[in-house]
Amino acid sequence: MLLMRQKTVLNLLTQAGHPLSPTVFVKLVFLLRHETVVRQDPSFYDFLPYKYGPFSFTLYRELAALRQEGHVAPDENTIALSELTHDPADRQATEPAMLVQAAVTDVLRRYGSMHQNSLVHSVYTRYPWYALNSELPERNLASVERPRKASPAVYTVGYEGKSVDAFFNDLIKRGIEIVVDVRANPVSRKYGFSRLRLGEICKRLGLEYRHVPSLGIPGSARADLSDYDSYQRLLDHYEHTVLPIHPVETRELGALMRKHPAALLCVEKDVRCCHRSRLASAAAKAADLEIVHL
């Protein structure tokens, strides 16, 4: 079953009525996200600054899936509906709500006839942050300052409830340059947060990825977690039993964060229920740094 955001993408291609270049396609989806009612949908695509302006790793992953499923034509040089999706019965099954269709119509009315260079210029001028890492000539038209490196501190971050694009967009804004994954087993059903994919995305964004499994908590130890108190018992055990046998790794972590803007990554949104809170305290003590939970 298609997600609403995927139906929105197919409706954009339907209403456009012709193949779009990848650059134009992404810009139009970006404008849907920022200038229409679609912004109220928390599950819609998030964006970050990349080689050609605003970009979404999630959008491109799902675009590949739509190609594989036969909804989008296989040619990667342009983005268009496949012949299957031109069928009226199939198209009706993939249509989003009327309000979203109206939003697509509005974006195409305002931007659909623009030449690619003019569209890029318009987006960069009005949303300069997303031109930060652009390699296009229009980058020079956007007045955007590169974020300062984060000042020395022990930073921590949880990805629960965030898309991979929103997660990295925030890290870039904060001036973080190294992601230190402190999960014992860095797998995730959430796209972008398994070890290999996370490392790949970091590399593409010019960030460094490090994995320190010895400072994590095995998944088996989390089996009986049910409430706040059970989390605290687990974290107490981690602080008093696990951390003391890894003093070298903890000191090295503190030394790293004194020299470079790095963030400890784990899953939980609530840092009080995540072992990174106790690890951050130990690393901060070792390096005489403050703790900042992002």
Name, in order, each residue with C-beta under 8 angstroms of 195's C-beta and a sequence gap of 6 or more: 181, 186, 187, 211
In the chain, what are the domain boundaries? 4-141, 154-293
What does the pLDDT read at residue 172?
97
pTM: 0.92
H or E element that contains 248: helix 247-259
The CATH number fitting domain 154-293, selected from 3.40.1350, 3.40.50, 1.10.155, 3.90.190: 3.90.190
Nearest to 280 by CA among 237, 235, 245, 241: 235
Are 236 and 221 contacting, i.e. CB atoms less than 8 angstroms apart? no
Tell me the torsion sign for CA atoms 35, 169, 148, 155. Answer: positive
pLDDT in tens, 147-156: 899 999 999 9
pLDDT in tens, 183-241: 999 999 999 999 999 999 999 999 999 999 999 998 777 777 778 988 899 899 999 99
pLDDT in tens, 103-160: 999 999 999 999 999 999 999 999 999 999 998 877 776 677 788 999 999 999 999 9
What does the pLDDT read at residue 222?
77
